Amino acid sequence: MRIITIAQQKGGVGKTTSTVNIAAGLALKGLRVLAVDADPQGSMTLALGTDPNEVEVTIGDAMLSGLPVPTQATQVPGLDLCPASRLLADTEFLLVPKTGRERFMARALEDVRGEYDWVLIDAPPSLGLITINSMVASQYLFVPVTPALLSAAGLRDLLQTVEEVRQGGLNPKLLLGGIFVTFADSRTVAARRTESELREDLGDLIMENTIGRRIAHEYAAQAGLPAIIADPTSMAATEYRNLVEEVLQRANK
């Protein structure tokens, strides 16, 4: 079972949209996939057709109370969801006094080992304990970044946290699978320049495939489906199918 986290401490970078589309793309390949919503905002839960306000059990309950990881089927065959709600926000505070507080998610996900080929974790847009738990539980981290200076600046802090997780012994095997550009816009000079600078600065860490700003994602979200399912012939779906291939290549080395 491969576990990957998709994280970025800055919100509004397409993190959740990317997680659901990558998860759906893997499921379309016949793989058994679990999408774990670890963000108290519940954006991925909503994107996969469930109202976060109706969610009573989250990954936080599995982490703290030893309950089974809650899973439910989605409209995408082969893709299950571990949903989130605002109740998950309490998990951050409850973890603080715990011994080994960074490893609770890793222990919880052992419960589903053998049931899934891939687990994708949508981490909160912060560098708190839930995000650290997500990294400790994962073999790979993938990071969306927009061609904007603030997003690139936030990336530095995230990469530093990855090194702390590795060098501090929490998860020495954690690998940065790649950084992919979202909301790419070749029409603006500033966006092209920033993306070029990112690629020059980070080299092979920047993934070849980029994700543009597409209206198909908005329509898909309204339908409670990833664009790769809701509108498979769209450019949005094509971009994510290509990204899925690159994720598979990078995470299978």
What does the pLDDT look like over 34-91, one tens digit per residue? 999 999 999 999 999 999 999 999 999 999 998 999 999 999 999 999 999 998 999 9
Q: What angle do CA 84, 64, 82 make, to 5 degrees?
A: 25
Residue of 176, 193, 172, 192 lying closest to 184 (CA atoms): 192
Instruction: Return d(Cα 104, Cα 75) in angstroms, integer.
Output: 29
* Domain 2-251 CATH assignment equals 3.40.50.10540: no
Q: Check: CB of residue 140 under 8 Å from CB of residue 251.
A: yes
Q: Where are the beta strands (DSSP E) in 79-122?
A: 79-82, 118-122
For residue 230, the SS3 value is helix
Q: How confident is the model at residue 6 (pLDDT cuts 50, 70, 90)?
A: very high
* pTM of the predicted structure, to 2 decimals: 0.92
For the segment 241-253, the average pLDDT, to the nearest whole number, is 91
Residue 10 pLDDT greater than 90, yes or no: no
Question: Does the structure show a pLDDT above 90 at 11?
Answer: no
